[in-house]
């Protein structure tokens, strides 16, 4: 199974008294996610694609943009992703078919913690960046994986032949 972990695109800044869950993507955040989606479409693994996202608006917007390129069989919001609950997420992962590719759209620091738990590597997720992991849910306490790819939006633009912004 492949798991692609992706941090949401750049969102509007947090303001005192504002509900963090309602922050939306900026125009730059939308463009970064579109660039990542265009590149992902070129290398995305075969099999059935599913997208799981945090329920926070900026993550849902990111998942929606990615879904336009990846055409997933299903998109769902998952509180485990928004809360950073690896144990809960792990129970859900074990139920997926082995041939699936899962895109998880979430937040820092959880994405980095999960990548490190599965692969022993830290990715340092920046907004709209993604990491592809070859994952075995039955190896170790929370599964084990191999980090195959980490990509930042600036790198995506280079691969797409666009000028770096």
- Nearest-angstrom CA–CA distance, 78 and 141: 21
Q: How confident is the model at residue 163 (pLDDT cuts 50, 70, 90)?
A: low
The full set of domains in the chain, from first to last, is 2-10+20-159 (3.40.50.1240)
Non-local CB neighbours of 145 within 8 Å, separated by 6+ positions: 3, 118, 119, 133, 134, 135, 136
Structure tokens at 106: 């979430």
**132-149 mean pLDDT:** 94
Q: How far apart are CA 103 and CA 35, in angstroms?
A: 16
pLDDT at 35: 96
Residues 6+ apart with CB under 8 A from 122: 112, 115, 116
**If pLDDT is split at 50, 70 and 90, which confidence band does 165 have?**
low
pLDDT in tens, 18-57: 788 889 999 999 999 999 999 999 999 988 999 999 999 9
pTM attached to this predicted model: 0.94
Residue 15, H or E segment: none
Residue 162 has pLDDT above 90, yes or no: no
3-state secondary structure of 23: coil
């Amino acid at each position: 199974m492949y798991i692609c972990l992706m941090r949401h695109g750049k969102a509007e800044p947090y303001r005192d008294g504002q509900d963090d869950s309602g922050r939306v993507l900026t125009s730059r955040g939308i463009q970064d996610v579109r660039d990542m989606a265009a590149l992902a479409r070129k290398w995305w693994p075969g099999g059935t694609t599913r997208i799981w996202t945090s329920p926070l608006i900026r993550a849902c917007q990111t998942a929606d943009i990615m879904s336009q390129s990846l055409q997933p069989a299903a998109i769902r919001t998952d509180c485990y992703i928004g809360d950073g609950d690896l144990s809960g997420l792990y129970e859900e992962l074990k139920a997926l078919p082995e041939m699936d590719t899962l895109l998880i759209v979430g937040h820092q620091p959880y994405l980095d913690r999960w990548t490190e738990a599965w692969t022993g590597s830290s990715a340092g997720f920046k907004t709209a960046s993604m990491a592809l992991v070859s994952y075995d849910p039955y190896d170790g306490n929370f599964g084990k994986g191999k980090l195959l790819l980490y990509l930042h939006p600036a790198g995506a633009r280079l691969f797409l032949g666009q000028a770096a912004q």
